[in-house]
Amino acid sequence: MRELSTIDALTVYEDALLAAPEGAGALHAVGDDGSRRRLPIGRWLGTPDAAEETVLGRAVGPVLDIGCGVGRHVVALRARGVRAVGVEVSPVAVAIARERGAEVIEASAFEHPMTSEWRTILLLDGNIGIGGDAVRLLRRCAALIAPGGGVLAELEPPATAPRAQRVRLEGARAASGWIPWHFVDFEEIDRLAGAAGFGVTERWRAGDRWFAQLRRPRSQKPADSAGKCERAAGAPGEGGACRPPG
């Protein structure tokens, strides 16, 4: 087997973005449990598919897309007349998103934005796993969302075995070091949402993908910010914040 150099996850992610379409599909997330999944660079660089449209149709503006990547959901919502903003740590992804007309904040979602005006927060492409602790991220969402607002999250299919807790990204030329990631199971979202002050109001399957809608009661006070996360932990999935995204 060929040897790959080890660099940070954000660099591996950006290298895959810049190599597309020639390099589309040449990015994998390798778990500490031995699992290996191909990451859909081509989908991330495209437009929302039918499964994602079922999510966007439920979004109420203003919308914050955490880990927005190249901004495909932000652009699609804008075309619907819905105000949407992305947050993303990758300078390369942010540049592509802005070229496409998306409004994007280049930062970690644990640091920006600071306002609590958002009525919907998107956690798609596996971004509920950013930082390795879904409860911490959902508490951050609770601090950002307006009373009665909701989170639309993409989840993993129901699991039959424990999932990896860390992943490394493997591209065509290099692999990253390990980063924490939380693969949230469709069947465990109730427990995690409840720990962050949300209730699960809807869940559905679209094709081979699984989603849920979470809501925070109008009377509930925002949770405290979960603090800062490491830049590497927000790489690909933080898509706006990072992504082995899904």
Structure tokens, 147:
């009373």
Please determine, for residue 20, whether its predicted confidence score (pLDDT) is greater than 60.
yes
Query: pLDDT per residue over 39-55, tens digit each?
Result: 999 999 999 999 999 99
Q: Could you tell me which of 65, 145, 147 has the C-alpha nearest to residue 109?
A: 65
Q: Summarize the confidence of residues 10-38 as an average pLDDT.
A: 84
Per mean pLDDT, which range of 5-9, 20-24, 206-210, 235-239 is the poorest?
Answer: 235-239
Domain 5-234 coded CATH 3.40.50.150:
yes
Per mean pLDDT, which range of 112-116, 161-165, 187-191, 222-226 is the poorest?
Answer: 222-226
69-108 burial by CB neighbour count: b if 16+ within 10 A, else e?
bbbbbbbbbbeeebebbbbbbbebbbbbbeeeebbbbbbb
Q: Which residue has the higher pLDDT, 225 or 163?
A: 163
**Edge-to-edge order in the sheet of strand 84-88:** 104-106, 84-88, 63-66, 118-123, 145-155, 209-215, 199-206
Confidence of residue 228 (pLDDT cuts 50, 70, 90): very low
The phi, psi pair for 245, rounded to 5°, reads: 0, 165
Query: pLDDT per residue over 100-154, tens digit each?
Result: 999 999 999 998 877 888 999 999 999 999 999 999 999 999 999 998 899 999 9
